[in-house]
Amino acid sequence: MHNFTDKVAVITGAGSGIGQALTVGLAREGARLAISDIDEAALGKTVQLLPPGTSVRSYNLDVTSQAAVFAHAEAVRGEFGGAHLLINNAGSALLGSFEHQSLDEMQWLIDLDLWSVIYCTKAFLPIMLSQREGCIVNISSIAGLMGMPALSSYNIAKFAVRGMTESLWSELEGTGVRAVCVHPGGIRTNIDRASRRCATAGEMEARMDAVNKRTLRTSPEHCAADIISGIRRGKRRVVTGYRSSSVDWLARLLPDTYPTLFAKVFGF
């Protein structure tokens, strides 16, 4: 997809952060936008940032609801006539070790960060296949490249998003539809405020929280520009943001010993 003019871009979690920056960036590229968020007020603020004349429709959407997501896909098809770009961006994080998290806490995070991606992809893929044109962009994380302490459920979800996307690379070959996996590093969004801390969090969670706060340095706009450039260039993987390349190479070159180096590099 080298040209976004008049392409229909579906973006979840568009009310803030990377989703908002992608919405603005794609609007400037001439895309038609179907944007959603569970926070209607935040979504309204995103719309106010768009250039005059942008073709945009906002949807209040709970991406953890299968029925709501499939109804959303039908609404977009009916109002826009199709969908060319799906960006599965909605999500959050949960600070907590595997030992400390409750099953209910883990279920909340996995529903939001993994099942939402499954639902949205399942709902929009048939539209793209019928067009023989489309691109599915799944936002994973550097936590989908390397296991990190006190983020076990987040790791579970983000590794799974990566695995699903990489599976699609082969499955979609020759269909006109492709998949992209994005691994953001330290992006300066509201995820540290919007994410949750497990109820029984202790010293380990406090140390990881301090690491997270130190690494949230890259702007969402920079991240969005890298994603849009990656889509245009036909990349399958986009690694972007503070410390993202370091994590990528550590995981590849030292798969058995990276936990020790992670502690040194990130000051854990």
Q: What is the DSSP letter of 246?
A: H
Decide: helix, strand or coil at residue 21.
helix
242 noted as active-site residue: no
Given a cut of 60, whether residue 192 has pLDDT beyond it is no
d(CA 51, CA 24) in angstroms, rounded, equals 8
Question: Is the CB of residue 250 less than 8 Å from the CB of residue 261?
Answer: yes
Instruction: Quickly tell me which residue has 């229909």 as its tokens.
Output: 8
Task: Give how far Cα 250 sits from Cα of 165, 177, 215, 239, 256, Å.
Answer: 21, 31, 17, 13, 10
Confidence of residue 193 (pLDDT cuts 50, 70, 90): low
Region 172-188: what's the mean pLDDT?
97
Give the pLDDT mean for 250-259.
Answer: 94
Q: Strand order of the sheet with strand 32-37? A: 56-60, 32-37, 8-11, 85-88, 134-139, 177-184, 237-240
Annotated catalytic residue, options 119, 154, 242, 258: 154
> 205 Cβ partners below 8 Å, 6+ apart?
95, 96, 97, 100, 150, 197, 198
pLDDT of residue 195: 81
41-81 pLDDT, tens digit each: 999 999 999 999 999 999 999 999 999 999 999 999 999 99
Q: What is the pLDDT of residue 148?
A: 94
pLDDT, position 15: 97
Annotate 58-98 with DSSP letters as a single string: EEE--TT-HHHHHHHHHHHHHHHS--SEEEE-----EEB-T
pLDDT of residue 213: 87
Residue 27, C-beta contacts closer than 8 angstroms, at least 6 positions apart: 33, 50, 51, 54, 56
pLDDT confidence of residue 264: 81
Band of residue 238 on the pLDDT scale cut at 50, 70, 90: very high
* pLDDT value, residue 240: 98
Residue the block writes with tokens 């007020």: 41
In this structure, are residues 134 and 26 in contact, taking their beta carbons and an 8 Å threshold? no
Structure token digits, residue 51: 């250039």
CATH number, span 8-266: 3.40.50.720
Cα–Cα dist 254/256, whole Å: 6
Q: Taking the CA atoms of 148, 149, 152 and 154 in sequence, report the sign of the dihedral they define.
A: negative
**Predicted local distance difference test score (pLDDT) of residue 173:** 98
Give the contacts of 48 (CB within 8 A, at least 6 positions apart).
Answer: none
Q: State the burial class of residue 167 (Cβ atoms within 10 Å of its Cβ: 0-12, 13-18, 19+).
A: exposed
